[in-house]
Amino acid sequence: MSEVPGTGRVIADRYRLLDPLGEGGAGIVWSARDEVLGREVAVKEVRAPEEAPSAGGSEPSYSRLEREARAAARFSHRNAVAVHDVVVQDARPWIVMELVRGLALSDVLAADGPLSPRRAARIGAEVLAALRAAHDAGVLHSDVKPGNVLLGNDGRVMVKDFGITPADGLYGLTVTGEPIGSPEYLAPERALGRAPEPESDLWSLGVLLYAATEGRTPFGRDTAPGTLRAVSEEEPPPLRRAGALAPVIEGLLRKDPAERLTASDAERRLRILAAGGTGSPGGGAAGPPVPPPAEGAADGGPGGGTAVAAGDAGAGAGTPEPAEPPSRTGILVAVGALVALLIAGGLAWALANGDDDTDGRGGGKVPSGGATVSVRHGPGTPVGLAGLAHLV
C-alpha 365 chain-centroid distance: 66
Query: By CB neighbour count within 10 A (0-12 exposed, 13-18 middle, 19+ buried), where does 247 fall?
Result: buried
* CB-based contact 305:274 (threshold 8 Å): no
- Rounded to 10°, the helix 198-214/263-274 angle is 30
d(CA 160, CA 59): 23
d(CA 276, CA 298): 15
d(CA 191, CA 227): 9
Q: Residue 241: which residues within 8 A CB-CB, separation 6 or more?
A: 114, 117, 213, 214, 215
* CB-based contact 363:378 (threshold 8 Å): no
* CB-based contact 227:220 (threshold 8 Å): yes
3-state per-residue secondary structure call for 283-336? CCCCCCCCCCCCCCCCCCCCCCCCCCCCCCCCCCCCCCCCCCCCCHHHHHHHHH
The yes-or-no answer on residue 143 being catalytic is yes
C-alpha 211 chain-centroid distance: 18
Integer distance in angstroms from the first to the last C-alpha of the chain?
78
User: In this structure, what DSSP letter does residue 13 have?
Assistant: T
- Identified catalytic residue from 85, 143, 201, 265: 143
What number of CA atoms fall less than 13 Å from residue 180's CA on the CB side? 26
Residue type, position 318, single letter = G
Which residues are designated catalytic? 143
